[in-house]
Amino acid sequence: MKFFVDTADLAEIEDLAATGLLDGVTTNPSLIAKSGGDFFDVIRNICDIVPGPVSAEVTATDAETMLSEGRTLAAIAPNVAVKVPLTWDGLKACRALSQGGTKVNVTLCFSPSQALLAAKAGAAFISPFVGRLDDISQDGMGLIREIVTIYRAYPDTIGTEVLVASIRHPLHVVEAAKLGADVATVPPAVLRKLASHPLTDKGLDAFLADWQKTGQSILS
Ligand code: G3P
């Protein structure tokens, strides 16, 4: 499974990229607003830090303007993936951008039928939002299961990667991995939680205390 980080915070991205475990970044207009930076500068800087796909989202709602915005965003850096919403206009823009060789991430996906259309439109990524479905008592992970099943039924014609978005906690990542989703885009705080376990901390403390008693050191 690939790990993307869902943020436009450069300091967080730099810190997480230093682990070598980061495969890409996703942003959206809300995350850009939260960063407080200039959209183009933020995306350019992220693309310099992370070589993998960096999603930058269009803000127009008609296909023609989405297409122009998408081309402008794609020109920022070769690793930009243009994000479009899952609307008819978004699908049209997705088709045109994909045919022109740009990677497209189709976002705001909440149903398997929407995911099927995004694949048909040539999306490189489909972004189903699990947390926002869970928030309204619908089964977010059930949607991932359905999309993975559908895509796997057409291995020769569907190359779209399932990018699980709106992740709220580590179990979302684990469940998505069990279902074989291709990518999880994870908020920085949740990404850090993936590595932590109280028994790891407790065990390490005990090992180090015992080691101390030996009076030895590995490096002289
Ligand atoms: O970037 C899309 C997505 O991950 C949004 O997450 O937490 O705003 O539902 P959230």
Centre of ligand 1 to C-alpha 202, Å, is 33
Is 0.75 topped by the overall pTM?
yes
Q: Is the Cβ atom of 165 under 6 angstroms away from ligand 1?
A: yes
User: Which pLDDT tens digit goes with each residue over 171-208?
Assistant: 999 999 999 999 999 999 999 999 999 999 999 999 99
Q: How far apart are CA 145 and CA 153, in angstroms?
A: 12
What value does the mean pLDDT take over residues 126-144?
A: 98
Average pLDDT value for the chain: 98
Please list, residue by residue across 197-213, b when 16 or more beta carbons sit within 10 angstroms of its beta carbon and e when fewer do: eeeeeeeeeeeeeeeee
pLDDT greater than 90 at residue 220: no
Query: Parallel, antiparallel, or unpaired: how do β-strands 24-26 and 54-57 relate?
Result: parallel
> Rounded to whole angstroms, how far apart are CA atoms 79 and 198?
38
**Protein residue closest via CA to atom 6 of ligand 1:** 166
Nearest CA among 143, 148, 145 for reference residue 129: 143
For the chain, percent of residues with pLDDT exceeding 70 = 100
Q: Dump pLDDT digits (tens) for 86-107.
A: 999 999 999 999 999 999 999 9
Q: How far is the CA of 154 from the centre of ligand 1 (A)?
A: 28
Euclidean distance between CA atoms 196 and 205, whole angstroms: 14
- Encoding tokens for residue 168? 């709220």
Report pLDDT digits (tens) over 18-34. 999 999 999 999 999 99
Residue range 53-73: mean pLDDT, rounded:
98
- Output the CA–CA distances (angstroms, integers) from residue 56 to 1, 16, 207, in the order listed: 21, 19, 45
Alpha carbon distance 21, 50 (integer Å): 11
CB of 129 within 6 A of ligand 1: the answer is yes
- Of all atoms in ligand 1, which is nearest to the CA of residue 27? 1
pLDDT for residue 187: 98
In this prediction, residue 176 carries a pLDDT of 98
- The yes-or-no verdict on residue 13 having pLDDT over 90 is yes
Whether residue 105 has its Cβ less than 6 Å from ligand 1 = no
Contact predicate 130/169, CB 8 Å: no
167 Cα to the center of ligand 1, angstroms? 7
